[in-house]
Amino acid sequence: MKAIFSNFYPLNKFAISNIPLLLLLVLSCNQQTQKIPFNHKIKVEKTVIKGKVDNWPTDTLYFASLPFHSPYSTFEGFHLLRSNKTFEHTFDRVDEPFILFLTPEKRFLDQRSFLLFEGFTKEYYHGYCKNFFTMPITTYLIEPGSETIVELSKTSRYGQTEINFLNENIYCSKYYQTTFELDQRLDEVITMANTVEKAIDNMNQKEKELLTSLKKESAFISPFLYNFTKAEIEFAARKEFLRYLLLDHPDMTSKFFENGIPANITERIEFDKENIDYATLISQEYNEFLELYINFKYSEMAHKLVVYKEFDKEKYELASSQLPPLSKYSYLANNLLHSNMNQQTKTLSKKLIEEYPDGELNDKLLNKYN
């Protein structure tokens, strides 16, 4: 995502703005009490999030993007609340949707590392996305030309923040909030399975159920959110199945790598690598799946279970051959930026830059390895 954030302060710079914020006018007629079709005609000149906070523990609103496909491209900043507890952030030159989170305290920005980089470590997180998204953090899917208006209320400093949406297309804004529980719902049906066949059947059934429910929502949410949620469901199913195999049942899975992978397992995890769109690319579930997928492919190549393969030349080459074209650069660049610097990673960084001379993370790679 190429975007410049205006009307906010970068965390490494403090300034006082003399431009007054627009007052948030909350009218009862803005409330939608029923599900109505998504209005595609609603567009605003600028992409904005604004609102008001209640029982906020600080005088500041911190925010950052969550670019799951490219963690080192994250944006972050803060905004001082006005005396009436209102705020407004404008995002200039936004040409693609992105995920944003808000929090009252700077230290909670550090929680992004836990979420964005968990796939790059052997300490793979066994919890659910919901555990992160119910911290003192609220997250939003921001689309170009949209205006998100919220009232944020807290009952305790560290508890969940209540969100009251006041913008048009309220149902779409609310629906995004439901996507945080998808992996938990899929995990629950696979955990009870005592055979691979039962695990696949349970996963297929639950995935079909979730996709059927999503299809019924298509008229009420934006096309991008529909595609995003579809990707979250499909790749959460693959991710949870790989986690079932690699992490929950290593003894059973080791035999598969020694004797050959059954066709039903291969069918359950493979996907169309030439048909990855931007909505899929920024999906959290898709990007978590990729790391488990590469580890699975390495184990298959090695004929033994390797739950986690450290990033090296061998893994670089494997990822280059196995990942979709749209994912290859960001996956390799992020891993190189996350790896320790040595002669091998320095050589791999140079190789990647030569292959992708316009890569958005090349400056960071050059800064680290030169």
Examine the domain organization and report whether 102 and 235 are in the same domain: no
Average pLDDT over residues 365-370: 96
Say yes or no: 164 and 253 in one domain. no
Q: Is 253 inside any structural domain?
A: yes
Do residues 133 and 281 share a domain? no
Count of structural domains, the chain: 2
* pTM of structure: 0.89
Within-domain flag for 54: yes
Considering only 96-110, 122-136, 291-305, which range has the smallest mean pLDDT?
A: 122-136
> What does pLDDT average to over the chain?
88
Let me know if residue 173 belongs to a domain.
Answer: no
One domain, residues 338 and 287: yes
- Looking at the fold, whether 147 and 194 belong to one and the same domain comes out as no
The Cα 165–Cα 52 span in angstroms is 11
**Is there a single domain that holds both residue 62 and residue 117?**
yes
How distant is the alpha carbon of residue 333 from its chain centre?
A: 17
Of 168, 199, 220, the one marking the end of a domain is 168
The helices-and-strands tally (H runs, E runs) of the chain is 14, 10
Average pLDDT over every residue of 330-341 = 96
147-154 and 47-54 strand pairing: parallel
Q: Is the pLDDT of residue 368 over 80?
A: yes
Structural domain including 233 reads 181-369
The SS3 of residue 27 is coil
| 214 & 343 share domain | yes
Q: In this structure, is residue 175 part of a structural domain?
A: no
176 domain-assigned: no
Q: Are 283 and 180 in contact (CB under 8 A)?
A: no
Domain annotation covers residue 174: no
Q: Give CA–CA dist 136/2, Å, rounded.
A: 27
One domain for residues 18 and 133: yes
Q: What share of the chain has pLDDT > 90, as a percent?
A: 74
Residue 155 within a domain: yes
Average pLDDT over residues 121-138: 65
